[in-house]
Amino acid sequence: MATASSIVGTWNTFVDWGSTGHPILANPLTFNADGTWTYVHGGGRWLQIEGQYFFNFTNAAGLIYAANTTLDSVSGIMGYLTPGGSNGVWWGTRPGAPHATDAALHALTVQGSHDHHLGPKK
């Protein structure tokens, strides 16, 4: 695996549950070299082979995210592995992306707002 395609580090994330074409800024995710990952609401385990990876959530049974990675971006799908479970698309960028300002990311972290990674707000 080339270093440039590693997901280790922090990613700004965007989710679109139901693939509506209206993405939402979600909390940043941090992937650790030991195969764990964390974010403000929890975390889980991840596995990467070449430029593809997937990860699960310890706080949301059956929720899986999968993606392809390049140097500074990831894009993929997410969904619950249950009958009729919600699904959609997501992507992430390394910190510094012009469309993910530090102020917006800080507001998400401080507010403890709805956890958009687990599904749409109801």
pLDDT in tens, 66-92: 999 987 889 999 999 999 999 999 999
Residue in 29, 48, 32, 16 with CA at minimum distance from that of residue 94: 29
Task: Identify whether 28 is part of a domain.
Answer: yes
Q: What is the pLDDT of residues 18-65, one digit of tens each?
A: 999 888 889 999 999 999 999 999 999 999 999 999 999 999 999 999
Task: Identify whether 66 is part of a domain.
Answer: yes
Task: Identify whether 120 is part of a domain.
Answer: no
Q: From CA 26, how far away is CA 118, in angstroms rounded?
A: 10
First to last CA, the chain: 40
User: What Cα–Cα distance (Å) separates residue 116 from each residue in 27, 35, 45, 72, 106?
Assistant: 8, 23, 19, 22, 15
Q: Is the pLDDT at 100 greater than 80, yes or no? A: no
Q: Is the pLDDT at 6 greater than 50, yes or no? A: yes
pTM of structure: 0.79
Helices (H), 3-122: 102-111
For the chain, percent helix, then strand, then coil, each to nearest 5? 15, 45, 40
Tally of domains within the chain:
1
For residue 94, the enclosing domain spans 3-100
Q: Is the pLDDT at 115 greater than 90, yes or no? A: no
Residue 106: per-residue pLDDT: 53
Query: What are 43's strand-pairing partners?
Result: 38
CATH number at residue 38: 2.40.128.80
Task: Identify whether 108 is part of a domain.
Answer: no
